[in-house]
Amino acid sequence: MEPVIITCAITGAETTKERQPALPITPIEQAIAAEEAVRAGASIIHLHVREDDGTPSQRVERFAESISAIRARVPEVIIQISTGGAIGESIDNRAKPLGLKPEMASLNLGTMNFGDEVFFNHPRDIVALAARMHQQGVMPELEIYETGMLESAFRLAKQGVLREPMHFQFVLGVPGGMSGEPQNLLHLVSVLESFACTNGKQVQRHWGVAGVGRFQLPLAMQALVLGGHVRVGFEDNIFYRKGEVARSNAQLVERITRIAGELGREVATPAVARKILGIL
């Protein structure tokens, strides 16, 4: 199997300091958390930003501050910004940080119920975001919350909206999307593999999984066995085990690095991750 790429989603838009005191909020806190995560084995930092009071933000200036602080400490890491923003954020605000030209950005492929909210992604906005990413030289990470979004990705690929190489992130366990039960990941991987067969050639695509809450560890282990990549971090899960709040994002990364070693899978460095994903 190819080396496993570990992504660390260090902050997110929903987690609070009250629930997770170690949550990195300020640019310097995020830079320290990113450095710790990279030293533990992460090669991608998935980045949401906050204002100093913890409010989710899509301000370009705030993204620039955090990206600059992270690069000062770990210049080798791949920074992947979120275009998801906070629930209810306008698509224009969600797109603005793409002007900073990070190496990667998330691209959500459908509208869905997200807990008690509605995560709105109009088809025209998805196409427009994809076009902006390609224009800026930013690699999309295709966020898949249920099978219909994966099917949408196939259609967009056939239309030329999405281009190879493609990297899919299965986000499982969000109330309103597919749960993190093992059969759901198996189903998504099977559908993805069938896409390559129906096109009559080996499609350049990779996949990873982000398990939310209690699904984070079992899905990560399943992905390691199946040859996929893994996302962990406080955006998705604040616990190390039931009832025990994790000390840091790095602690969650370290566990995946250790398990990968026991399974005989090398952990990708940022340089190796770029080669696997086709990031130039």
Query: What confidence tens digit (pLDDT) does each residue in 23-64 have?
Result: 999 999 999 999 999 999 999 999 999 999 999 999 999 999
What residue has token string 């493609």?
A: 166
Residue type, 277: L
Please answer whether residues 198 and 238 qualify as being in contact, where contact means their C-beta atoms are separated by less than 8 angstroms. no
Cβ-defined contacts of 184-190 (< 8 Å, 24+)? 185/209, 185/219, 185/222, 185/223, 185/226, 186/226, 187/147, 188/144, 188/147, 188/150, 189/226, 189/228
State the pLDDT at residue 203. Answer: 59
pLDDT by residue (tens digit) across 203-224? 568 999 999 999 999 999 999 9
Nearest to 180 by CA among 136, 150, 222, 242: 222
| Alpha-carbon gap, residue 59 to 57, rounded angstroms | 6
pLDDT of res. 86: 78
**Residue boundaries of the structural domains of the chain:** 6-277
Q: Nearest CA to 230 among 40, 70, 102?
A: 40
Taking only the tens place, the pLDDT of each residue in 141-193 is 999 999 999 999 999 999 999 998 999 999 999 999 999 999 999 999 999 98
Backbone angles phi, psi at 14, to 5 degrees: -115, -35
CA distance 237 to 270: 23
Q: Which residues of 195-222 are buried (b: 16+ CB within 10 A; e: fewer)?
A: beeeeeeebebbbbbbbbeebbbebbbb
Fold classification of 6-277 (topology level):
TIM Barrel (3.20.20)
> How would you classify the pairing of strands 244-245 and 239-241?
antiparallel
Count Cα atoms within 13 angstroms, Cβ side, for 126: 22
- Is residue 249 within 8 A of residue 216, CB to CB? The reply is no
**Structure confidence at residue 62 (pLDDT):** 97
Q: How far apart are the C-alpha atoms of 211 and 221, rounded to whole Å? A: 10
State the pLDDT confidence band at 200, using cuts at 50, 70 and 90: low
